[in-house]
Amino acid sequence: MLLWIVLVVLALFAVRLVQVQVVQASELAEQGRETRSRTIPINAQRGEILDADGMVMATSVVRYDVQVDLRQVPAYVRYGEDTTDVLGRGAVEAARQLAPLLGVPEHELGAQLTGTAGGLVIAREVTPEVREQVEELGINGLTTHATTTRVYPNGTTAGDLIGWLKDDSSGASGLEYSLDDRLQGTDGTRSYETGIGGTVIPFAAQSTVAAQDGATVHTSLDLDLQYACQSSVDGQVEQSRAEFGAAVVLEVKTGRVLALCDSGSIDPNSPTGSGTVRSVTSPYEPGSTGKILTVAAALNEGLIEPTSTFTVPDQLTMPNGQTFKDATEHPEYELTTAGVLAFSSNTGTVQIGDLMSDSERLDYMNAFGWGGRTGIELAGERAGTNMDPAAWDGRTRYVTMFGQANQVNLLQITNVMATLGNGGVRLPLHMVDGYSDASGSFTPAEVGESVEVVSEQTADEMLLMLEGVMADQLGTTGKKAAIDGYRVAGKTGTAQIPNTVDGRLTDTAASFVGVVPAEDPEIAVGVIVFRPAGAGTGGALAAPVFHDVASAALQMKGIPPSGTTDTLYELYGPGSGPDAE
C-alpha cells in the first residue's frame, strides 16, 4: 500500500514538473521578464522661440536639484592638508561650505541638514557651475539630479507674447500656450532588463524609442523694435496715468506682426498676473479712426470724391431728429471729404455715411475685418462686435459712422490702415513665420487668404486724404504723428467710454493709426491709450507714441525717407475756411 502511495505522489510530481517545464514555461518566462524589465522615459526637448533675426526669446536649459540623505551627513569630515587636520564635521561644516554656493543663510541651511530624511531637496535649478562646486565638496549623502528649466533671456521684452509654463511644463499663456502642441515634442522610452542589485543585463533584450524634440518657433517679431515700442507705450501710460496702453507694428505687404506691445509686460522668468495681451483681448470703441471705413466705403461706391464738398456746422440735426456735434465749436464751413477727415468732423462724416444703406456699410465693416478674428497666433483674441443694423436705433445708425457703438481690437483697426497701404487688399495677420525641426528643416506657417476690400484707386485716394490729417493747419488732429522726411497717412481717434464710477461717458480711448511712407507704405502702426486721466485725445496722447514707434521701425528696417511729394487735397471748399472773408 505504501508503495502505491509513493508511486502516486511521484506520478503527480512528474505531471506537475511537465506542466511547469513545458506547458507553463513560456508564461513563467514572461513573468520573469516582467519582473526584470524596466522602462524609463526619454524626455523630449521643448522647442525654442526665436525672433525674426534668430534671437532666442525662450529656451530650455539644464539645471540641477541638490538632494541630501540626512542620515549620512553626520559622517562628513572636512580635512585640511592631511587627514590629521580636521577643519569641521557634520551638518555644521556642511552648511558652512554649502551656504555661499546656494545663496542660503548658513543657520537656515544648518537646520535643514539635521534630521533623518532620506532624500531632502535643499536647492532647485542650480547652474552647472554651482553643481560642480557642490559636488567637489564631497559631502556625505549629497547628490545632484539634472532637470530642465525654461529660460527667457529678454525679461519683460515681449514677455506677455511669449508667455510661460505651468508646473507640469505645459504652456500657461502666450505663444507657449497657443503653440504648446508644436513646442512640446514627444517623449521617447528606453526598455531593458535588470539583474540582482538593479544592474543592466547586457545580453538581454533592449529597445529604445527616440524622443522627438519640439519644433523651434520662428516669429516675425523684432526684439529691438519690441523694446522700443514697449518703452514708448509704458512712458505714455505713466505720464497720462492711463489704465493701459498698447501699440502694434505691421508689415503692410505681408501681414507680419513686427511688434505688439502692451504696457506693463510681465517677465516670464517670474510671472505675476494673468499675462493677458490686451491689444488682442480687450476690444474698444475706435472713435474717429472708424471714420476711415465710412469714407472709404462711400468713395469706393462712387458716391463721393476726395474734393466733394459738404456744409459742415459744429452741430447738425439729422432728418430723424438726432443731433450730433463736433468735438469743438466752429463756424459753419464748406469742407471737402479730405477736410472732413483732416478735421475729424462728426457732422461731416454722418452726411457722408447717410449716402449709403445700412447693409452696404455693414458689408464694408465685415470686409475690412471688423467682427472677425485677425488670425494672430495668440489665444483669447476677442473679435469685437459689429451690431446688426436691425438692432440699430435712430442714434446708433449714425454713431457707428464715426466709430461708436461698435468694438474692435487694436490689430483690427490697424489692419484697416494696412489694407489701404496694400492697395485695398486685406491680409491675414500673423506673428509666426514658421517652424523648424531638430534637423533644421523649416516649414513655413500657413496663413489665410487675402481679401480685396476696396479698389487700388480708392486706397490711393484715401491715403492722400489721410496725409492731410498731419497737415500743419489750424484744426487738423494728427500733427504730433508727423515724422521729418517721411510722408505719413493716418487718423486720430478719441472715443467716449463709460467711466468706472457712475458709467457716464466721461472717459476716453485715445488712438492713432497710420502708415508710412504714405507714397509706398511699408509699415502700419496702431496705438491705443485707454482711459487716461483727464480724458486726453488721440492727437495729444496716441499720435506722439506713433511718431516714436514708427520712427524706430523706419530706422531699424532701413526704410529710406520719402523721395516724392504730392499735392494734398484742399481741405476747404472754394471761398470757405478761417481765412475766407
Q: Percent of the chain beyond pLDDT 90?
A: 66
pLDDT of amino acid 286 = 93
CB 51 within 8 A of CB 62: no
Average pLDDT, the chain: 90
Residue 192 scores a pLDDT above 80: no
Nearest Cα residue to 398 out of 340, 456, 358, 443: 358
DSSP of 209-227: E--BPPPEEEE---HHHHH
| CATH class given for the domain over 48-72+91-215 | alpha beta
Nearest Cα residue to 285 out of 412, 127, 375, 423: 412
- Beta strands 315-317 and 323-325, pairing class: antiparallel
pLDDT of amino acid 438 = 86
Residue 262 scores a pLDDT above 90: yes
Q: How confident is the model at residue 30 (pLDDT cuts 50, 70, 90)?
A: low
Cα separation, 447 vs 425, whole angstroms: 15
Residues 6+ apart with CB under 8 A from 286: 403, 406, 407, 408, 413, 493, 495, 509, 511
Cα separation, 291 vs 437, whole angstroms: 46
pLDDT of amino acid 41 = 72
Q: How confident is the model at residue 27 (pLDDT cuts 50, 70, 90)?
A: low
Residues 6+ apart with CB under 8 A from 399: 324, 405
Q: How confident is the model at residue 258 (pLDDT cuts 50, 70, 90)?
A: very high
Q: Which CATH number fits domain 223-271+279-526+533-556: 3.40.710.10, 3.40.50.720, 3.40.50.2300, 3.40.190.290?
A: 3.40.710.10
Cα separation, 533 vs 531, whole angstroms: 7
Q: Same topology for domains 48-72+91-215 and 223-271+279-526+533-556, yes or no?
A: no
As a whole number of angstroms, the longest Cα–Cα distance in the chain is 145
Q: How confident is the model at residue 31 (pLDDT cuts 50, 70, 90)?
A: low
How far from 108 is each of 69, 78, 114, 119, 202, CA to CA, in Å?
17, 20, 11, 18, 46
- Convert the pLDDT of each residue in 194-203 to its tens digit: 666 556 677 6
More confident residue, 109 or 306: 306
Cα separation, 343 vs 372, whole angstroms: 30
Q: Which residue's entry shows cell 504714405?
A: 518
pLDDT of amino acid 514 = 98
pLDDT of amino acid 54 = 97
Residue 310 scores a pLDDT above 70: yes
Q: How confident is the model at residue 331 (pLDDT cuts 50, 70, 90)?
A: very high
DSSP of 206-272: -EEE--BPPPEEEE---HHHHHHHHHHHHHHHHHHT-SEEEEEEEETTT-BEEEEEETT---TTS--
Cα separation, 561 vs 517, whole angstroms: 8
Residue 273 scores a pLDDT above 90: no
Joined grid coordinates for residue 167: 508646473
Q: Where are the domains of the chain?
A: 48-72+91-215, 223-271+279-526+533-556
Question: How many C-beta neighbours within 10 Å does residue 30 have?
Answer: 11
Cα separation, 468 vs 48, whole angstroms: 45
CB 20 within 8 A of CB 176: no
